[in-house]
Chain A
């Protein structure tokens, strides 16, 4: 493959890429003859919204990171250390032009721990937030009583129950979930729960077989080998992602059983040696992660730091 050609069309023409460009070019956005009506459609919508009393353009005021709006209420600036609590029927929205938007469900309590350039840190004591973040990865961090969530460029929902346990569901992008030295990397379409004092449970895809998710919940609770075998038996190729996290959470015989199933589901490179994985060698684990084809571990390491 010609990387130069793939990058910017320079260098020697790669015939396969050129073929793909020619075929897929049929689907390219073609504004000819439509651009005007499309653009005027946007403009017309703007006029209608203005007529309805909705302002598009900025009011002049103090520059702040976050603004809070309650349903039917005025916007107000959010300051460090503030606590946002919603009642039983109240929803709220926080917006920051450089970071993203956070919708807060009723019966929630969200604290602003720290808000500065490069780090926006909150604590969700209870309730549910829906975060839609466009800031660079690792900027938006939410502590919960049982784990810390670190946005890696995404849209997700985070819930904290009264007992401090939590549940994370990722819709796009990635979230890192961390506590007690245990880390989970959770991609779109995956979920992960936490329990206070234990850190994140093992993540899994929302479409995983019920036999897998049920057995996984039991294993996270009891570490039972019977439950583990049920997880391994139900795992599909896609669930190797779950098995990779299980490798990090087990030792001895259990880790060996997981490795054997994992190696049967994933085409492992030579650097992901059995010995390395069984001994938790970081290089072998990274190579095993890369074999999942969910993104290069080097990318995750770029954002790894003490939050």
Chain B
């Protein structure tokens, strides 16, 4: 099950940021920027993910006062990123689903975009974990530590997601 025990330095950073220490929030930004980018990329086109990075951290800063459990920061920030992505997509096209927008809006002008489009069609838990691993270069243990998921869940998501990705790529012959 997800752990709520933060690493000591991170818990101190969260508490300092809550007391108004901007440098501490800056350090958290640097620790979590890859994770946030990866989560956004699971839902929105590449160029929109870049633009939404700042929105996610502004929202996090606005709401940081409501976070009293420092160990929940990673999972909480991940949820803020997901919500920012869904709000963004809803604002653009109120009715359509996440997958269809993300896939249609991603211009397949390189192999990377083609493969990203395939990953964005996978189930949510697989696509987030795969993007964190294959795009952002995070290891399984690092993903578990940052997201609050258990190591077992991350391992299952990676293995099953990779299997699905292989099958999908085979069908598309990328």
A residues with a Cβ closer than 8 A to B are 1, 3, 6-9, 16-17, 20-21, 23-29, 31, 35, 38-39, 41-43, 45-46, 49, 54-59, 63, 67, 95, 97-98, 100, 132-134, 136, 155, 171-173, 187-189, 206-207, 293-296, 299
Tell me if A24 and B61 are in contact (CB < 8 A): no
Nearest CB of chain B from residue A70's CB, rounded to whole Å:
16
Q: B111 to chain A: which residues have CB within 8 Å?
A: 23
Q: B18 to chain A: which residues have CB within 8 Å?
A: 57-58
Q: Mark B82-118, 1 if CB is under 8 A from A, else 0.
A: 1100100000000001111000000000111101100
Tell me if A17 and B139 are in contact (CB < 8 A): no
A35 to B141, CA, bound (A): 25
Q: Which among A17, A58, A63, A171 is the interface contact of B65 at CB below 8 angstroms? A: A58
Q: A46 to chain B: which residues have CB within 8 Å?
A: 22, 58, 61-62
A134-B136 in contact given A6-B158, A97-B67 (Cβ < 8 Å): no
Q: Which among A3, A39, A134 is the interface contact of B26 at CB below 8 angstroms? A: A39
Nearest CB of chain B from residue A27's CB, rounded to whole Å:
5
A6 to B160, CA, bound (A): 11
Nearest CB of chain A from residue B20's CB, rounded to whole Å:
5
Q: Which among B41, B78, B134 is the interface contact of A17 at CB below 8 angstroms? A: B134
Show 17 A/B contacts (Cβ-Cβ < 8 Å), sorted by A: A7-B141, A20-B115, A23-B111, A24-B134, A25-B135, A41-B58, A42-B58, A45-B58, A46-B62, A57-B18, A57-B20, A58-B18, A98-B69, A171-B86, A187-B123, A189-B97, A296-B156
Nearest CB of chain B from residue A135's CB, rounded to whole Å:
8
Q: Nearest chain-A residue to B38 (Cβ)?
A: A29
Q: B162 to chain A: which residues have CB within 8 Å?
A: 1, 6, 17
Tell me if B123 and A293 are in contact (CB < 8 A): yes
Nearest CB of chain A from residue B73's CB, rounded to whole Å:
10
Nearest CB of chain B from residue A193's CB, rounded to whole Å:
19
Tell me if A207 and B97 are in contact (CB < 8 A): yes
A7-B158, A57-B64, A187-B124 given. 9 additional CB < 8 A pairs?
A: A6-B140, A9-B139, A25-B137, A31-B30, A31-B33, A42-B58, A58-B18, A173-B124, A189-B99
B residues with a Cβ closer than 8 A to A are 1-2, 4, 18-20, 22, 25-26, 29-30, 33-34, 37-38, 41, 46, 53-54, 57-58, 61-62, 64-69, 72, 75-76, 78-79, 82-83, 86, 97-100, 110-113, 115-116, 123-125, 131, 133-137, 139-141, 153, 155-156, 158-160, 162-166
Nearest CB of chain B from residue A274's CB, rounded to whole Å:
24
A63-B20 in contact given A27-B46, A29-B37, A42-B54 (Cβ < 8 Å): no
Q: Nearest chain-B residue to A302 (Cβ)?
A: B1
> Which of B64, B99, B125, B158 has the most CB atoms of chain A within a 10 A radius of its CB?
B125
Tell me if B61 and A56 are in contact (CB < 8 A): yes
Nearest CB of chain A from residue B95's CB, rounded to whole Å:
8
Tell me if B68 and A97 are in contact (CB < 8 A): yes
Q: A56 to chain B: which residues have CB within 8 Å?
A: 20, 61-62, 64-65
Q: Nearest chain-B residue to A37 (Cβ)?
A: B54
Tell me if A42 and B115 are in contact (CB < 8 A): no
A183 to B20, CA, bound (A): 46
A32 to B129, CA, bound (A): 24
Nearest CB of chain B from residue A84's CB, rounded to whole Å:
18
Q: Which among A3, A59, A299 is the interface contact of B153 at CB below 8 angstroms? A: A299
Q: Nearest chain-B residue to A100 (Cβ)?
A: B79
Nearest CB of chain B from residue A211's CB, rounded to whole Å:
19
Q: Nearest chain-B residue to A42 (Cβ)?
A: B57
Q: Which among B29, B112, B159, B164 is the interface contact of A42 at CB below 8 angstroms? A: B29
Q: Which among B2, B38, B76, B135 is the interface contact of A97 at CB below 8 angstroms? A: B76
Q: Nearest chain-B residue to A65 (Cβ)?
A: B68
A206 to B75, CA, bound (A): 27
A57 to B62, CA, bound (A): 8
A55 to B124, CA, bound (A): 34
A294 to B160, CA, bound (A): 10
